[in-house]
Amino acid sequence: MLFRSIENQLVSEVLPRTTEYLKSEQINEDWEPPNELFWHLYVDLAIATEVKLHTRVGSRLNYEKTGISSLFRKSGRSIKKFGADDYRKALTEQVPELASIDYWELLAEGTKYGYTRDAYNEWKKRLIENDDFSEKTKPSDFLFVVLANDIKSPGATPTQGTIPEEKLLPVISELPEIRFKELFLDTDEDWAEPDVWDTIQLYSPSFTNGYYLNSADFKKGSDGPELRPENERLYALIFSRTLFMSVTITLVCLLLGYPVAYFLANLPMKYANLFLILVLLPFWTSLLVRTSAWKVLLQNEGVINDVLVAIGLIANLERLELINNQTGTIIAMSHILLPFMILPLFSVMKTIHPSYVRAAKSLGATPWTAFRRVYFPQSIPGIGAGSILVFILSIGYYITPELVGGTTGTFISNRIAYHISSSLNWGLGAALGSILLAVVLALYWVYDRVVGIDNVKLG
């Protein structure tokens, strides 16, 4: 899946002639697309529309420039009205065998008209991949346009008797010329925009760093990466928000979990086991149910606000906004992840012998000094284990932020899920996931260098 973050074969595979022609073009604001470019675009789109691939390549390019998807869809619907059926009728009247797919098979093998051969073979390949090719398949109209263009081309090499050019040349010369540039521009004037062709050119290589640039709020430009306009920057904010909320949730779990773990560790075993069951009790309930319960508690007309109004701490018209924001996400996730902090702490604290603290007190240390100088340092491995566990779990959480986070309390995992399941921009989703993985590994490395992973214990 991570390979999709750099994979980009679709554009060059669906538009091979167009992208090849664009390689030699220097596109700028004053650049005007030449007529020959629209000829290559016509052949590529004619093949693509046979198997609906034009919509896929349009959607791919639409991730980079809004509006290209509709441009390709509109052109795909209009391309069959470009007059290719006139060429079919005229050529098959002179050479009826051209209506048979078997004749085109022989033509593709023996013809020296390379453009016709390549166009036919690619058209056939697409149909075979789509399980639409058989002996009864009729040659597509655009193939007759390609053949006619090859025959009348000044530099064309005559075939060795496969095609009776002497019959076809007079007919082809009388057929009206198809002005592809005018037809495409009549379909949509955006085909004259250099930005459209620049986008196709930039994303024609088989591999791209465009998804990673988008993940960092940059975009590909002719002169290199360019920072997106401020109103289009999104992912840097979401990444920073994800890190901030993950650290905050970890700290909240530590502040709440440390006293609970200390209390459990110092209880007699029979009572400690009973309270430990209460700590684990939330795991017996579905995560979705627990998160939905927090929606009931935190909403404006929910239990928490009702209690605060009832005891007079807030006015009825000043109810707290506790849901669909970062506050709701932090509260709900702290509750859900709290056991993952308590259990490592409890496990480590059980190994701290009570005689250490008693010895410190017998030597004159106050209870606070004995805790701070003797007990707390020995519990740090548990703090490390719990913090790593809670932080890594929280940074990749999805369902809880999705339900209670609204627009300001969601994590980067929510955007990844959106691109994977809704927008179907798998490349960007894979790039965001790769960056998230790299961030977690980098933070893990920093933690190991500062604290030492060998000092982390679960008991």
* In a domain? residue 224: no
Together in a domain, 344 and 369? yes
320 & 382 share domain: yes
Same domain, 274 and 318: yes
Which CATH number goes with the domain that contains 293?
Answer: 1.10.3720.10
Hey, what are 353's tokens?
Answer: 């012998």
Cβ contacts of residue 9 below 8 Å, gap of 6+? 206
Indicate the helix (H) or strand (E) that contains 227.
Answer: strand 226-227
Q: Are residues 46 and 149 in the same domain?
A: no
Range of the domain at 30: 2-81+180-208
Residues 156 and 204 occupy one common structural domain: no
pLDDT digits (tens, 9 = 90+) for 27-50: 988 899 999 999 999 999 999 999
User: Whole-number mean pLDDT of the chain?
Assistant: 89
pLDDT for res 112: 66
Over range 383-387, report the average pLDDT: 90
One-letter amino acid for residue 316 of the chain = N
pTM, entire model: 0.83
Q: Higher confidence at residue 109 or residue 184?
A: 184
Residues 285 and 431 in one domain: yes
pLDDT tens-digit map of 149-205: 888 875 555 444 466 777 888 888 888 989 999 999 999 999 999 999 999 999 999
Q: Give 48-84 pLDDT, tens digit per residue.
A: 999 999 999 999 999 999 999 999 999 999 998 898 9
* 248 falls within a domain: yes
Residues 273-298 have pLDDT tens digits of 889 898 988 889 899 999 999 999 99
Q: Is residue 219 part of a domain?
A: no
Per residue in 415-445, pLDDT (tens digit) is 999 999 998 899 999 999 999 999 999 988 8
pLDDT of 457 above 60: no
Q: In this structure, is residue 375 part of a structural domain?
A: yes
Q: Are residues 14 and 135 in the same domain?
A: no
Which residue stretches of 141-234 are H helix?
Answer: 141-152, 165-174, 180-187, 194-202, 210-215
**CA torsion 407→408→411→412, rounded to 10°?**
70
What pLDDT score was predicted for residue 378?
A: 92
Lowest-pLDDT choice from 107-116, 201-210, 215-224: 107-116
Same domain, 90 and 71: no
Structural domain contains residue 283: yes
Confidence at residue 161, expressed as pLDDT on a 0 to 100 scale: 47
In a shared domain, residues 324 and 395: yes
Q: Are 379 and 393 in a shared domain?
A: yes
Is 147 found in the same domain as 59?
A: no
Percent of the chain with pLDDT over 70: 95
- Dig out the tokens for 43 from the structure: 């052949």
pLDDT of 162 reads: 60
Asked, for residue 223, whether it belongs to a domain, the answer is no
What pLDDT shows up at residue 458?
A: 54
In a domain, 215, yes or no: no
Give the per-residue pLDDT at 160: 47
The pLDDT score that the predictor gives to residue 379 is 92
Residues, the chain: 459
Q: Is residue 222 part of a domain?
A: no
Residue 151 is predicted with a pLDDT of: 84
